[in-house]
Amino acid sequence: MSWHGITTVYVKELRDLLRDKRTVRSMIIIPVVVMPALTFGVGKIATVLVSKARAETPTVMVLGGADSPGVVARLRSEAKIRLVPEAADWKQEVSDKRIRAAVKLPEHFEADLRTGAALPVVIYDYQGELKSGFAAGEIEKFFHGLSTQTAKERLAEHGLPATLVQPFETRRENVAPPEKVGGNALGGIVPYMIIILCFMGAVYPALDLTAGEKERGTMETLLCSPVSRVDIVLGKFLMVLTSSLSAMALSLLSMAASFFLLGSLIAGGARAAAKAASGPLPMIDPLGIFGVLGMVLPVAVLFSAVIFTVALFAKSFKEAQSYVQPMVFIVIMPAIVGMLPGIDLNARLALVPILNLSLVCKEMLSGVWHWGYIGVIFGSTCLYAAAALALAVRMFKREDVIFRA
């Protein structure tokens, strides 16, 4: 092994790939521009749409209620809903979104309310339709208030305290520090994104430097040089790793920047939500971020070596793509499982690649450092990565792989 050979191959591959428009697209433009634009763009659109839907005063139709003028009048005085006159085709109107919901008051509702014999109030909404759901929520809130107030009035009539039906209240208070709240909320998604970005960043250069070179006929040219096969593999592999880590780092930086730039809406909303819930604003433990990046390194090596080896078998770039595409699911599945609630790190899961990273990163981002597991996961992933790299070298030395006709 010679560093001169490795660096010569690496520098050439770097220069070559940076001149390739497809690489620039997959390594820089997609992670830096497209991914955050999609992630935050969709998020922003969703936020705007939800806010718009919330801001709308929904139109609600009261069915019946002629004998309950008091309730209808109170309902009409609600600022958050607008009543419209009853119509025979009310169902069609809800379906056509001309009105958002309808509420059916039973006959003699107001009178029965006083005697305690009132039948249920039925709310009609269009399930799955956001604005209809908001309207139904407002109606529910109104009748819940009416129900509570009626109960209190009745108790008062009998000289009984209101605490008779509600002897005590319960209250929830958060004791988790902000970074733990953030770790739990974002701990699943951040490692998932890092894993996917690392994988995607390695795909294009791995294919180009193996099957692509074979297809273009430059592999044979390179093999004529006196540099050892090991040096060639390591030089090329380092390029794939560079691409994997750069794509991941650039994406994270770009997402962080987008988050802060576009964050007025999102962060503002989160702050308001946290304030409303009397809770802390979610944060991520900064040390956790460094921990995650450290743990990702052997996984990036593993991805780069595995994709490199698989692509080496192909005769053309297209063939290599057909080999590598199914691997995306193998990577995504454990990353998704790691995001699921209720799956906790244990000794057995600590040895399952990708899933172990996803689980330990979730903990690190919430400030929990299980050093034993961290050591096992880092060590086992390094071993898997070393084995994958050794396999890549071995395959590169095989004539039936390199000169596969």
Partner 1 sequence: MIEATNLTKLFRDKKRGEVRAADGISFRVAPGEIYGLLGANGAGKTTTLRLLATLLKPTAGTAVIDGHDVVREPEKVRAHVGFLAASTALYGRLTAREMIAYFGRLNGLAESEIDARIRRLADDLDMHEFLDRRCEKFSTGMKQKTSIARTLVHDPAVMIFDEPTLGLDVMTARAIVRFVRDCRARGKTVIYSTHVMSEVEKLCDRVGIIHDGRLLAEGTVPELLARAGETDLEEAFVKLSGIKEAA
Please identify, among the stretches 30-38, 223-231, 287-295, 331-339, the one whose residues bind partner 1 according to the rule CB under 8 A: 223-231
Q: Which of 92, 147, 148, 225 binds partner 1 (CB under 8 A)?
A: 225
Q: Indicate whether 163 belongs to the interface with partner 1 (CB under 8 A).
A: no
Q: Which of 92, 218, 278, 346 binds partner 1 (CB under 8 A)?
A: 218
Q: Which of 141, 216, 275, 404 binds partner 1 (CB under 8 A)?
A: 216
**Coil/strand/helix, residue 2:** coil
Nearer Cβ to partner 1 (16/67)? 16
Tokens of 404: 């596969």
- HEC secondary structure over 167-213: CCCCCCCCCCCHHHHHHHHHCCHHHHHHHHHHHHHHHHHHHHHHHHH
Residue 127 beta carbon to partner 1: minimum distance, rounded to whole angstroms? 56
Rounded distance between C-alpha atoms, residue 237 and residue 301, angstroms: 9
Binding mask 226-265 for partner 1 (x = CB under 8 A): xxx-------------------------------------
Residue 180 beta carbon to partner 1: minimum distance, rounded to whole angstroms? 49
- Asked if 284 and 179 touch (Cβ cutoff 8 Å), the reply is yes
By CB under 8 A, the residues from 370 to 399 that bind partner 1 are 399
DSSP codes of every residue in 124-160: EE-TT-HHHHHHHHHHHHHHHHHHHHHHHHHHHHTT-
Q: Indicate whether 12 belongs to the interface with partner 1 (CB under 8 A).
A: yes
Q: Which of 95, 148, 166, 221 binds partner 1 (CB under 8 A)?
A: 221
**Coil/strand/helix, residue 38:** helix
Nearer Cβ to partner 1 (8/246)? 8
Tokens of 151: 């109960």
> What is the 8-class DSSP label of residue 313?
T
Which residues bind to partner 1, rule: CB under 8 A? 4-5, 8-9, 12, 15-16, 19-20, 216-218, 220-228, 399-400, 403
